Amino acid sequence: MDVDATQRLLRELAHAVADFVKQHPFEEWGVDLGKGADGTAMKLVDEIAEKEIVRVLKAHGGPWNVLSEGGGLIHLGGDGLLVTDPIDGTTNAIRGIPFYCVSLALGRERLSDVEAGIVLNVPTGDVFEAAKGRGATLNGRPLKVRAPGRSLVVSTTHGADVKAAGLRSFGASALEMCLVASGALDAYHYPKPILRVTDVAAATLIVREAGGIVIDDAGADLDLRLTLEPRFTLTAASSREMAKRVGVLPE
């Protein structure tokens, strides 16, 4: 599949998931389904989103296998690997907090070989996309990280040691990283070692293709095998200098 066909299928999948989820009664989204493949609490909205992905992929002849936060590795006989958190920001979604997204990335073995990614902001309909070496877009317009200004706004968890005039905490990593890519945020810092590649595979490519960095807590460019085992912290920022300025990297 060439990169245009890959991006078209990712787009079809993202919209199918968002539409399918919105058709389900909101009152049922939060029904508890116990633990998923990675040990995270699964909600009904996660399961219906994942099932819709598998259904659409099968309708396309199962071109890719799936690595999903809830379902683990799902073999469809395909070549590439679709790495997905079908609903990122589940707690926000089931409560009706308008900040959650569908996150889909196509890779092979490692985060660094992810070739295309899409993050769809479900409540607003905004679409963030990237293809490796071809840049990132928001609703089709090219994205670029923010030039450093006087006043900084950073999203991070409460209690994190971050220096910025404006601090936010939105509760959906993939979407917060995309706001770094679009220049809305100067940085996003998640200090608890509980993220998985399913959360960040698409957004990592989007940030990097917009000119930003995604690093681990030692300051190295984040790279990981595409499995559910690694749990990690992460910083996305407009630049390495910005990561230093907000205090998440030593000067």
Which parts of this chain interact with a copy of itself (CB under 8 A)? 91, 95-99, 121, 123-124, 126, 146, 153, 156-159, 166-171, 179, 182-185
- Cα 84–120–231 angle (5° rounding)? 35
Nearest Cα to 116, choosing from 137, 96, 130? Answer: 130
Q: How many CB atoms lie within 10 A of CB 146?
A: 23
Nearer to a copy of itself, 1 or 153 (CB): 153
3-state class of 181 per DSSP?
A: helix
Q: Judged by CB, which is closer to a copy of itself: 95, or 244? A: 95
Please, what is the minimum distance in Å from the beta carbon of residue 158 to a copy of itself? 4
What minimum distance in Å lies between the beta carbon of 157 and a copy of itself? 7
| Minimal distance, residue 202 CB to a copy of itself, in Å | 18
Q: Minimal distance in Å, beta carbon 183 to a copy of itself?
A: 7
Minimum Å gap between C-beta 102 and a copy of itself is: 15
Nearer residue to a copy of itself within complex by CB, 74 or 179 = 179
Closer by beta carbon to a copy of itself, 75 or else 150 = 150
DSSP letters for 58-106: HHTT--EEEEETTTEEE--S-SEEEEEEEEESHHHHHHT-S--EEEEEE
Token pair 């490692």: residue? 110
Nearer to a copy of itself, 92 or 106 (CB): 92
| Residue among 57, 52, 54 nearest 19 (CA) | 52
